[in-house]
Structure 1
Amino acid sequence: MGGRAALRAAEAAQVRGVAALAPWVPPGEPVAQLRGRRVLVLHGSRDRVTDPAESARYVSRARTAGARADLLVVAGGDHAMLRHHTHWHRTATTAVTDLLTRLDPDDAPGPSPAAGR
């Protein structure tokens, strides 16, 4: 549930972006909190625990909501991320490093759409 929790935590003003690995994002999972955030979802094509197709739909909805969201499908990857583990680790590390080091003013998070509730 870590990926889903990270995506939900994007509502916090301090969050610049999220890297979510094989998240469970069922239909109807909120995306408004991702507006203005950078999001990378990594999902294995052979994942049988969480659905890579749902991740693709989630990323599409996040883009519509104003997130700069991308999906990377790890061909042959499974939910445990053991197959192609070097690729998983390298990609996740690069994504997080990029999120932490990019100082582009356009990447600064704005107020969350839910901040007023």
Structure 2
Amino acid sequence: MKKDRIYALLFSRVYPLYIKKAEAKGRTKEEVDTVIFWLTGYDKKTLQQQINNKNDFETFFAEAPQLNPNVSKITGVICGYRVEEIEDPVIQKIRYLDKLIDELAKGKAMEKILRK
């Protein structure tokens, strides 16, 4: 995916896809939100503001209250790339979120997803 194209993706358009993916595997919207809150530091209100503002992913992560300090524990392959080796910080954060949603959809325990 071209850098400019991924940067232009609106979080508000991808968020329902995260929920759909999780729900298709028996998980819930609340679990998706928990993963997002853990990664970004957003809460229910500030996440909804990001959705309402139709922010792109670059803005979504730039305005995140605090990236979780355990983010470096997210490892593995997503979309053919090792997340820990992605050099572009915005794309890496997007892939971190993708990886966490994948783990959720695959039935991994929330405790493991949140790197506890």
Whether TM exceeds 0.5 here: the answer is no
TM-score scaled by length of structure 2:
0.28
Question: Which structure is higher in strand share?
Answer: 1
TM-score scaled by length of structure 1:
0.28
